[in-house]
Amino acid sequence: MRQQTPTLARSWPIARVDEVEDRPFRVFTQRDLDRIEPLTRMSEEARFEMKVVSTVLPFRVNQYVVDELIDWDRVPDDPIYQLTFPQRGMLTDAHFERIAQLYRNGADKAVIEAAAHEVRLELNPHPADQMEMNMPRDAEGNRIEGIQHKYRETVLFFPSQGQTCHSYCTFCFRWAQFVGDKTLRIAASEARMLHGYLREHHEVTDLLFTGGDPMVMKTKHLQGYLEPLLAPEFDHIQTVRIGTKALSFWPHRFLGASDADELIDLLERMVKAGKHVALMAHYNHWREMETPAARAAIRRIRSTGAVIRAQGPLIKHINDDPAVWARMWKTQVSLGIIPYYFFVERDTGARNYFEVPLARAWEIYREAIQQVSGLARTARGPSMSASPGKVEVQGVSEINGEKVFVLRFIQGRNPDWVQRPFFAKYDDQATWLHHLKPAFGEEKWFWEDEYNAIRDDKVGAEA
Ligand code: SF4
């Protein structure tokens, strides 16, 4: 489905905090499907399909998204509906039928859950070897839970209180975090462990808080992780990034929430103390930035001196249209947000429904970037967060009569790989790095031996 770019009926100027009405946070999960008012106007079959899909893949939506972001007159094509509500096509027919049949036969909850668990394991729950390759170990060789350290200068931290989101994205590549299976979760319980790790790793300059969404945490918990970083022993941590979709799914977190003022104070204090604080805002569609609450939240965060950088994946049914990206980037620049990444949908979960071939991804990126001014051309992509590193499709070219993809590492497990162009045979169906083959008759990628050695080393340590 190609997205149309409708003239937006709802378009608001930037609102001040005191102009936005507070609203309570009300969330719906699979067991509340019958309580979501607009769904009651849908057929029972459609609701059953949602129930089946959300048995396998996580579903959570809140009232703000239902009321203010989804245009119910455009359902099922509405992009935010596709972004948040389970779709039949997200499961293969075989997987769908397996779960549907159990419901039709009145199977036990435990039997249904066991079947759903088996289906999940077939959906590549941890792409890019997150479990095996990115978790560091302590001096005794024990895995340090809740931390990933893939690139030299950046540590990812998954605070245990931040492993959920205000709503879930249907395509979420971290979906395995939300299905209640402890063996699939990456989370830490202790700030002490994070600080201990950073204390010993002076090569780390950037700390990325991620989840889930760390902004679901109470400010006092966030403070427990962040405040100690202001001590001189953490001067090497120059940048604190917080990955979040709260600006889209629950902007009231920064406005009328009970501890919103403390959160804003905390961001301000960190900036004043000399840290670069960046909210890595996940956006999929310009619609998410149109409500008064969204705009007031952006304005309030920017007033602290924190920077907002925007990133998000290219997703079929949601934003596979250059006009949507061009408008999104223009909107971001006009609101003072820096466009940062244009990702390729990861090879996990319901990817068959959402993925876009790399060749088309590059066309969409190119057509979109051509429509915007230089300030919006800071968005990098299409970028695949693959196991060896972040690989960008720089273009399609013909060299010595061979049609090729021109690729480069934006980030690599070995920093020396970064910015070295390399070439893959053109393939109009490929959707991920592992579908590509080296061009010009080469047998392997220039980085392949080294990557395999790193991999053997890390995975070997698992055994
Ligand atoms: S906000 Fe991020 S982590 Fe949360 S559901 Fe969406 S993609 Fe997943």
Q: How far is the CA of 175 from the centre of ligand 1 (A)?
A: 8
Among 10, 3, 76, 7, residue whose Cα is nearest residue 288:
10
Average pLDDT over residues 126-152: 74
Burial letters 80-107, b for 16+ CB under 10 A, else e: bbbbbbbbbbbbeeebbebbbebeeeee
With pLDDT > 90 as the criterion, what percentage of the chain qualifies? Answer: 76
Residue nearest to atom 6 of ligand 1 (CA): 169
Q: Comparing 62 with 14, which gets the higher pLDDT?
A: 62
* Mean pLDDT for the chain overall: 90
Q: What is the pLDDT of residue 193?
A: 87
Question: CA angle 121-411-236, nearest 5°?
Answer: 105
Q: Which of 54, 57, 130, 168 to mutate to test the pocket of ligand 1 (most atoms within 8 A of CB)?
A: 168
Per-residue tokens: 410? 């934006």
Q: Phi and psi at residue 196, in whole multiples of 5°?
A: -60, -45
pLDDT digits (tens, 9 = 90+) for 309-360: 999 999 999 999 999 999 999 999 999 999 999 999 877 778 889 999 999 9
Q: How would residue 161 be classed by pLDDT, with cut points 50, 70 and 90?
A: confident
Centre of ligand 1 from the C-alpha of residue 178, in Å = 10
* Bridge partners, 241 (sequence order): 208, 278
**pLDDT confidence of residue 247:** 98
- Per-residue confidence (pLDDT) for residue 3, from 0 to 100: 43
pLDDT at 72 over 60: yes
- Judge contact between 238 and 206, C-beta under 8 A: yes
Q: What is the DSSP letter of 365?
A: H
Which residue ranges have their beta carbon within 6 Å of ligand 1?
Answer: 165, 168-169, 172, 174, 211-213, 245, 282
Ligand 1 center to 41 CA (angstroms): 27
Residue 138 pLDDT class (50, 70, 90 cuts):
confident
pLDDT of 4 strictly over 60:
no
Q: For the CA atoms of 219, 224, 227, 228, what is the dihedral angle to 10 degrees?
A: -170
- Residue 210 alpha carbon to ligand 1 centre in Å: 10
Write down the pLDDT at residue 9: 39
Best residue among 62, 84, 156, 282 to mutate for probing ligand 1's pocket (most ligand atoms within 8 Å of CB) is 282
Q: How far is ligand 1, taken at its centre, from the CA of residue 213, in Å?
A: 7
Sort residue 338 into left (φ over 0), alpha (ψ -120 to 50) or beta.
beta
What pLDDT is stored for residue 23 in this prediction? 84
According to the model, what pLDDT value does residue 186 have? 56
Distance in Å, CA 309 to ligand 1 centroid: 16
pLDDT at position 14 over 90: no
440 CA → ligand 1 middle, Å: 39
Q: Which of 65, 208, 213 to mutate to test the pocket of ligand 1 (most atoms within 8 A of CB)?
A: 213
> Amino acid identity of 98?
R
pLDDT score at 107: 95
- Percent of all residues in the chain with a pLDDT value above 70, rounded to a whole number: 90
pLDDT at 178: 74
- Band of pLDDT at residue 463, cut at 50, 70 and 90: very low
Which atom in ligand 1 lies closest to the alpha carbon of residue 178?
A: 5
Protein residue closest via CA to atom 8 of ligand 1: 172
Atom of ligand 1 nearest to the CA of 212: 3
Q: How far is the CA of 214 from the centre of ligand 1 (A)?
A: 11
Mean pLDDT value across residues 45-58: 94
Output the residue whose Cα is nearest ligand 1's atom 7: 172
CB 119 within 8 Å of CB 92: no
Q: Is 12's pLDDT higher than 70?
A: no
Which of 44-48, 99-103, 122-126, 162-166 has the weakest average pLDDT? Answer: 122-126
Q: Please check whether residue 350 is in contact with residue 393, taking contact to mean a CB–CB distance below 8 angstroms.
A: no
Location of structure tokens 């089946």: 52
DSSP letter for each residue of 11-37:
--PPPPGGGSPP----EEEGGGGGG-G
CA of 168 to the centre of ligand 1 (A): 6
The predicted pLDDT at position 184 comes to 55
Identify the pLDDT of residue 6.
Answer: 40
3-state secondary structure of 282: strand
Q: What's the confidence (pLDDT) of residue 85? A: 97
For residues 25 and 458, the model is more confident at 25
Confidence of residue 1 (pLDDT cuts 50, 70, 90): very low
pLDDT at 150 over 90: no
Give the nearest ligand 1 atom to 175 CA.
8
Could you tell me the pTM of the whole model? 0.91
- Name which of 30-34, 148-152, 376-380, 402-406 the model is least confident about: 148-152
